[in-house]
Structure 1
Amino acid sequence: MNFQNQHPADIAEQLSELDNDERNLSFLMLSPEKKTQVFKFLEPAVQIKIIKALGNKELSIVLNNLPPDNRTKLFENFPDHLIKTSINLLNNEEREIALSLIGYKKDSIARLMTPHYIQTKADKTVTQVLTHIKKEGKKAETLNFVYVVDENNVLIDDLRIGQLLLAEPDTKISELMDRHVLAISATTHIEDAVDIFDKYDRSALPIITESGVLVGIVTFDDILDEVQDQTTEDIQKFGGTEGLEMSYTQSTLLDLVKKRAGWLVILFFGEMLTASAMGFFEGEIEKAVVLALFVPLIISSGGNSGSQAASLIIRAMALKELKLRDWWYVMKKEILSGLLLGLILGTIGFLRILLWQETGLYDYGEFWLEVALSVSVSLVFIVLWGTLSGSLIPFVLKWCKLDPATASAPFVATLVDVTGIIIFFSVAAFFLADKLL
């Protein structure tokens, strides 16, 4: 296939659809520059397969020319022996960069940074900086900003490239500086860095050490890739499964089962408590079989309201709209929401029994009114309880330093199922005492 004139992303997509031998051969036929461009768009699993098929010379060219942030992400998916082999194929400069990046914590913003950027000193002229850009600019990740450092490489300012282009050639960089610079600490968590990018609407931001030394930059496209990965993981967790390391199509059957089995077992044991609760009220069910008709309706309404609340709160937390200290504000709001939603469903439930009784569609017996009240009042309490549970659990998890996304919809639904049974039969016992019960 002739890939040379296509965009690297399109080439990567087409290569991924080929079988191993044809894909490896097609990749080898690409020019050295095109190899590097295409490689970073491939899925991790495909990257590893191609690397294993490459000779040391070809692999060395790809790895040495791959952007450091993409190379670090690639190494994260490598087995240990392959990391060692790959690092030994890097030249001295790139090897030092790779080892430095790998040393940072996995969730720190430094893992996404690249050391390829334009920096200068305050005593340089605009002409000198522009000459430097022409010489080194091809290696830079972005040319939007020029970063100004002092003798100790401490970041003191950043200048937009437009400022240099509009300035007189002999103007000193110090004359253009205002010494107001926005930077991110290398140890900052990636999620916090996303908020900084969003707040200040920047396409790139410098990364500094605790002492202010400039060590790299992070561009917004790298942040977007990470946001997509984290959002995917949160959605998977909220669905009651562990996050997948690779995409769904790249995951094996065994991986899918392993990631889902744990939660399903936990939820199964939870639902066993529902069966136990039903068994506890077996006597009441025998006396008033009509109550069993409404058990699915009751517990599903509570589970649905809890899942809704959990979805809203977890998303608000992800967007930083809610913090841990806002739990009481949320509780007050959800108490009113839960009551109103419960009253709506309770009213519908009451009218449904009334309509069926009056039209003869179903005979609920002489105590149909008490049955209707039991169902409607239970719906109010269970929907309220489901709403409060779904909104409170994410706060509890965050307080325990756990991921709020773990408050998955199945987990909340299972919790409300068990307690919903108890609420329903307790309310029914109140209205039907000395009648059916």
Structure 2
Amino acid sequence: MTKNQALLDLEIDRNVLADDETLAIVAQALRTCLRDGDKKTLRAFLDSQEPADIATILDTLEAAEALAAMRHVDLYEQAQIFGYLDPEYQIELSDLMGRRELARLMSAMSHDERVDLFKNLDPVAREAVLPGLAKAERDDLRKLASYPEDTAGSIMTSDYATLTPDMTAKEAIEALRNQALDAETVYQAYIIDEERQLVGVISLRDLIVARANARVRNLMDTNPVFIRAEADREEAAQIISRYDLIALPVINGGDKLVGIVTQDDAMDVQEQEATTDFHKVGTVSGLKANVRDASIFVLYRARIVWLVLLVFGNIFSGAGIAFFEDTIAAHLALLFFLPLLIASGGNAGAQSATLMVRALATGDVRMSDWASVLGREFATALLLGLTMAAAVSLIGVLRAGPDIALVVALSMVAIVLVGAMIGMSLPFVLSRLKLDPATASAPLVTSIADVTGVLIYFTIATQVLAMQAT
């Protein structure tokens, strides 16, 4: 047994993705195999791993090293591994390939992954690789690439299985057997007529349990769930999730079947949308690269706009404090409780906004639910405010006496209540205006709650302390 083989066998037993240290050991072992020309060990290791795991390992190598390692597996597995790599890394590897090698790889890729790669290539590379593809592949590539980004058509694949209504169950199973190598899935087959219009859908299970001479038209579901190619891709993901579909058929304006959106593509969409929403909640916009690979300028650009806007928004807090400077001058103890109260309102608002943004995104809450949600949130915020007021009242008495304690307690209830109402309502307002509810970010809600909290606190202080003085 060679040293390289011993290292790789150790990592196979320990799971190559256990931790960063383990991954580094495996990557170094692969580098050693490449340097020593130990093809046998390299092939044995790669053949023993899942494509997704190989992609994770290759991602830690230099692009030239990763490409050299990939060339030790067959073309079909290369295509699978390539599909798991980040788009930016795919482009790096593509730049190192010759035109013919890249064309062969793209021919072996699934239709949707092939078009994703094609869209990411620069125009010169696109024109260079097209002649290396078969005419049918070129036509399919151009058709899929023509759909606008963020539509269902942009994430669909044309690798689907079709049947005709007049087939028997036996003929249909044989047809699926012949299409299996090229189809993304054969567990669901789509029934089309002479004009390729979608007329039904049938599962492989239904065909297997049916009598051999039973007609597909009598077995199929004649009311299939579908989506139009121009619909939003997030809607496609939601439909797949709602109806627990393996794949969702996509039709064009003429009701012709043009592709399917598979469950794994829907999961990718949901992950991307969740990432985008998380970024918006943190007032980070336009960050398409991952944090590890993004440059300092990209990270700066994604964050600076909102931070500057929020700086100017917080000026209103300063203006509010200035407006009540006479009250503050007469009762300096009020300043001690200011950060505590303002932070409480912002925190309550941020919590409410996070809950509502998520609920609207998942469909748990709809615009028609606003009144009932408002009432429940009001009651919850009131209880939260009373509890927090009781907690700070003792501090108020010990620090500044009963008069200030009363002001702090009343302010806490009002500020938490208003902050929660702002946080809950803003996502609904944005949704009504056809804007993304995720724009109701925690920093934005906090800034609005801060200004409101300052006004509430010092207004209550002015009124209550004036009454106590008379």
TM-score by length of 2: 0.86
Q: 1:384 aligns with which of 399, 417, 426?
A: 417
The 3 A distance-change label for structure 1 pair 140 and 261 is same
| C-alpha distance in structure 1 between counterparts of 2:346 and 2:280, whole Å | 17
Structure 2 counterpart SS, 1:156: strand
| C-alpha distance in structure 1 between counterparts of 2:318 and 2:125, whole Å | 51
* Conservation of the 8 A alpha-carbon contact between 1:117 and 1:140: yes
| C-alpha distance in structure 2 between counterparts of 1:274 and 1:436, whole Å | 27
Larger CA deviation: 159-168 vs 170-179: 170-179
Structure 2 match to 1:112: 155
| C-alpha distance in structure 1 between counterparts of 2:220 and 2:408, whole Å | 71
| C-alpha distance in structure 2 between counterparts of 1:226 and 1:214, whole Å | 21
Shift in Å, 1:136: 2.4
In the alignment, residue 379 of structure 1 is paired with which amino acid?
M
Matched, 1:337 2:370: no
**Cα deviation per residue 1:85-127 (whole Å; 9 max; x = unaligned)?**
4445432212221222222221221212111121121222333
Structure 1 match to 2:351: 308
- Structure-to-structure mapping, 1:20-419, within 5 angstroms: 20-354=63-397, 356=398, 362=399, 364=400, 368-419=401-452
* Conservation of the 8 A alpha-carbon contact between 2:188 and 2:246: no
**Cα deviation per residue 1:208-267 (whole Å; 9 max; x = unaligned)?**
123321111121111011111111111111012115212222222221111111111111
Structure 1 counterpart SS, 2:285: coil
The 3 A distance-change label for structure 1 pair 177 and 330 is closer
Shift in Å, 1:433: 1.5
| C-alpha distance in structure 2 between counterparts of 1:347 and 1:196, whole Å | 47
**Cα deviation per residue 1:53-95 (whole Å; 9 max; x = unaligned)?**
0000110011122112112333444444444444454322122
Shift in Å, 1:393: 0.6
Larger CA deviation: 202-211 vs 146-155: 202-211
| C-alpha distance in structure 2 between counterparts of 1:388 and 1:81, whole Å | 54
| C-alpha distance in structure 1 between counterparts of 2:469 and 2:289, whole Å | 56
Shift in Å, 1:30: 3.2
In the alignment, residue 16 of structure 1 is paired with which amino acid?
D
5+ long unaligned stretches in structure 1: 357-361
Structure 2 counterpart SS, 1:212: coil
* Conservation of the 8 A alpha-carbon contact between 2:236 and 2:261: no
TM-score by length of 1: 0.92
Q: How many residues are matched?
A: 427
Shift in Å, 1:419: 1.5
| C-alpha distance in structure 1 between counterparts of 2:333 and 2:469, whole Å | 10
The 3 A distance-change label for structure 1 pair 377 and 85 is farther
In the alignment, residue 426 of structure 2 is paired with which amino acid?
I
In the alignment, residue 4 of structure 1 is paired with which amino acid?
D
**Cα deviation per residue 1:356-385 (whole Å; 9 max; x = unaligned)?**
2xxxxx4x2xxx221111111111111111
Taking only the aligned residue pairs, the percentage that are identical comes to 34
The RMSD of aligned alpha carbons is 2.0
| C-alpha distance in structure 2 between counterparts of 1:48 and 1:72, whole Å | 13
The 3 A distance-change label for structure 1 pair 14 and 159 is same
